Structure 1
Amino acid sequence: MSLKPMSVAMAALTVVGLAPVNAHASAALRFGYENGTKSSGQPKLGFNECCQTSIQVDDLPRTGRYAIRSHLKYGDKMVAGGTRAESHTLDIKDTHFRSGETVYYGFSIYLASTWQNDSREDIVFQWKPWRDKCETDKSPSAFLSVQPSGKWRLRVNSDGSPCSTADTVHKTSFDLAEVKPGQWHDFVFKFKWSHDSQGSIDGWYQTHKNPGWRKVVTATGPNTFNDDATTQGYLKWGIYKPAWNTGPTEVESRTVFHDNITVGTSFSEVNPAAG
């Protein structure tokens, strides 16, 4: 059974009754970079980076004083099997997820006004499970990307098989909103993680120049993998350019900013605009 989007009319509704936009509770975990370090005060935060310039704190924040800047050039040495500059929470237990859990995620992403469309996608946020012992590789359960069409796209991968292969993974994609360079893009997602029909996804979006949360995805059905008891997922954010693993594209470099990456149990906890 695949994820089923609800009606377009439903998906376009403005968020009402969730929480005031400026509400902020004590979130389970937030990476806001306000201490001026790229670990954001979390010593177990990991980095997939080739170079000193790959991941740096920057004074272009969504809120507060700082955000994280991820920079990638074509020809950069591959890290963790790909051309990427990413922060990751592999060793931070409070961010881990698995089938049967319901979690809210919030984050903000900034693309500079000089951002140019490319013929191949740019992946900027991932929900990534590690492999079961019987698997040789593992797709992310979900990832957010910038598409050549100029759209934000949420891609969801699921598999009810105990041992996933490339042939058994089911893939579903949702185009969420138009990419608008020169603006902070705010996202909130509610995942009810499940490898079967019990799963669901709700997603909301706004920009800092056009505030007002819009619901951009509502879907039901499988959205992760049938993992064994030892396997969980974690988060990655930054820039991953899969096409550059094998050759060049029309652009030669990518720079993305992230701020207020948050994991919690409610919309108000993870609202990235609240700071």
Structure 2
Amino acid sequence: MTQLLRLAALVSLIPSFASADVVWKGDFETGNTSQWTRSQSVSNNRLQVVTDVVREGRYALKATVRQGDDPINASGNRNELLYISQEKADSTWYYKWSTLFPADYPLDDRWQVFAQWHQEGCCGSPPLEFYVRGEEMHMRVGGVNGKVLWTAPLKRGDWSDFVLQVKWSSDAKKGFVQLWHNNEVVVPKTSIATQFGKEMNYLKLGLYRDDAIRPEASVYHDGFTMASTLEEVMPPPAPAPAPAPEPPLPAPEQPGEDAPAEELPDAPIVQTPETRPQTRWGITTPEELLSGERPPGADGAQGCNASGGGAAGVPITVAAGLLSFAALFTRRRKPARARAHAKR
């Protein structure tokens, strides 16, 4: 039993080790606002945890403001949640959250803050804030006279995913910010003062706007996370789409039943020495001599035993040899007869 209890204790520690870089979550997955330090709201129904419009998990926050909502008797109208993070000077943190402005969010050209890191002092614009004005979203650093480092069109009905890196410092050479919007770097690392003197900051999330704005407005927030590493807050890349399959090659056309067969030209007949009719021993036969016919090609190609004129030229050669021999014999007999006649 003791070993089982020890094993259960080790298993219970695994989630804390796996998320050691996450220092705080305000993602409303508790089903309420208990993750946050406190709220500034005129009524509970102004900061509702809902399930019908969410970015991740099961729950999100719906912050609503009506004209006259002033829970702390200050300038503007608001309903916000607070987390007293108190980041120390020269510390660096990553923050992730998502915000959605519904399709019926009213258009107004006055300031409407939806996320801010406020100084501990009571008054004035914060050192870092996100707000809407007209049809654009903005990020400003340095208070009312600070620098607007980012603007983007307000797209109603679409979630905006934010990842913010901040080094908190009142020294502009040490402090910096970097911002990702919808997984794209929109503000590269930029050196700037992110604190007012020695005042530490705290987070406020909800809706805070100019008190001259009349229409009721709501905004949704989800998934707020504070971590020490980028990997804990950056969404994983979307998987690459599978390549489209290549279309199959068209089948070769087959001739119809009634289509005439293709006629090929007759190949020429070529007689080779192996296929040409041969005479006996390459010499014209007696039958051919009697008929007066000569075999095809006798005037051209040589027979295998012919010396020049083909098979028909062999008898001519023999006859010529006999005539020459007879002439020589005749010449030899004439001197002999002359000598015999002289002796007589």
Question: Is the structural similarity TM-score above 0.5?
Answer: yes
1:57 is matched by which residue type in structure 2?
A: V
Alignment of 1:12-161 (within 5 A): 25-26=19-20, 27-39=22-34, 42=35, 45-59=37-51, 60-79=53-72, 81-82=74-75, 83-90=77-84, 95-131=85-121, 137-148=123-134, 150-157=135-142
Percent of paired sites with the same residue? 27
Alignment of 1:268 with 2:231, yes or no, is yes
Q: Which amino acid aligns with 2:31?
A: G
Equivalent pairs counted in the alignment come to 215
- Please list every run of 5 or more consecutive structure 1 residues that lacks an aligned counterpart in the other structure: 1-23, 159-168, 207-212
Question: Which of 184, 208, 230 is the equivalent residue of 1:240?
Answer: 208
Contact kept, 8 Å, 1:108 with 1:272, in 2: the verdict is no
1:214 aligns with 2:184: yes
Q: Is the Cα–Cα contact under 8 Å of residues 109 and 258 in structure 1 kept in the other structure?
A: yes
Contact 1:34-1:65 within 8 A present in 2 as well: yes
Structure with more relative contact order (C-alpha pairs < 8 Å, separation 6 or more):
1
- Hey, which of these two has a bigger chunk of strand by percent? 1
Matched, 1:193 2:168: yes
Task: Tell me if the contact between 1:63 and 1:273 (Cα under 8 Å) persists in the aligned partners.
Answer: no
Q: Aligned-pair distance for 1:89?
A: 1.0
Aligned partner of 1:171: which letter? G
Structure 2 residue matching 1:257: 3-state secondary structure: strand
8 A contact 1:25–1:268 mirrored in 2: no
TM-score (norm 2): 0.58
Q: Is the 8 A contact 1:48 1:84 kept in 2?
A: yes
Letter in 2 for 1:116: P
Task: Using the TM superposition, give the Cα deviation of residue 176 of structure 1 relative to its aligned residue in structure 2, in angstroms.
Answer: 3.2
One of 195, 203, 214 as aligned partner of 2:179: 203
Structure 1 runs (4+) greater than 4 angstroms displaced: none
User: RMSD of the TM alignment (CA)?
Assistant: 2.2
Report SS of the residue matched to 2:45: coil
| Residue equivalent to 1:209 | none
Letter in 2 for 1:234: Y
Q: 1:88 to 1:205 in 2, by over 3 A?
A: same
Aligned residue in 1 for 2:299 = none
Letter in 2 for 1:52: N
- Which runs of 5 or more structure 2 residues have no equivalent in the other structure? 1-17, 238-344
Is the CA contact 2:69–2:79 (under 8 Å) kept in the aligned structure 1?
no
**Structure that is richer in helix per residue:** 2
Cα gap change, 1:176 to 1:266, in 2 (>3 Å): farther
